[in-house]
Amino acid sequence: MLLRLTISLLPALDAAFNSNQSLLLSWRILNYLLVAVTIGAFGFILVRVPVPNEHNAIQFLLKGLGICSLGFVPLGLAEYGLNALFGQLYYPLSLEYLFYLGTNVVMILAAVRSLQTSKDTAPAFRALKNDTGARFALTQREQEMVGLIARGLSNKEIASELHISVATVRTHIYNLFQKVGAQSRIELLNILST
């Protein structure tokens, strides 16, 4: 009796399984399409939206991520087709992994670009104006020290560049702090830049 019931239910189970398979397939296709549209819109926005007053490394990063995103839209659809034909491919070659590699390459290149100096980028601290040096009664050597401090040099590097001892550098920096009323190098540069 149980065997007859099972045999009679097999066509119904097969039909239900096939309809679930087509439902699953349509959900999978919808998922790929939604991801493609989302990544495509994200990439289009990053490529097309202007960022005029940003550092060129930021502009490069945004454009690079946008191009990377736009490039992966057809790859996502190709991945779906390949998975449908051949089954799951080797995992490290998945779309997520390739997108991860692409975005990391763009970020590393943007970081390298941010470290490069160009003619159109201004330094964080400009040279002292004559009235600033006169206002604080800075000597020529102290004004020279301010420029070296602004470059981020250590006491040892300043001593090497000026061919003086490290103790003399410390004395000049101490005198600068006293004349300007600063307690740190950053505060010194902030006060002198105003």
Res 42: pLDDT:
86
CB-based contacts of 29, cutoff 8 Å, min separation 6: 80
> Which of the pair, 54 or 12, is modelled with greater confidence?
54
DSSP class per residue in 20-84: HHHHHHHHHHHHHHHHHHHHHHHHHHHHHS--TTS-HHHHHHHHHHHHHHHHHHHHHHHHHHHHH
Residue 6 binned pLDDT confidence (cut-offs 50, 70, 90): very low
Question: pLDDT tens-digit profile of 128-187?
Answer: 777 787 888 888 888 888 888 888 889 999 999 999 999 999 999 999 999 999 999 889
> Which of the pair, 177 or 7, is modelled with greater confidence?
177
Mean pLDDT, residues 98-114 taken together: 85
Question: pLDDT tens-digit profile of 60-79?
Answer: 888 888 888 888 888 777 77
Res 136: pLDDT:
87
Class of domain 130-193: mainly alpha
- Give me the percent of the chain exceeding a pLDDT of 70: 76
Res 62: pLDDT:
87
**Where in the chain are the domains?**
18-115, 130-193
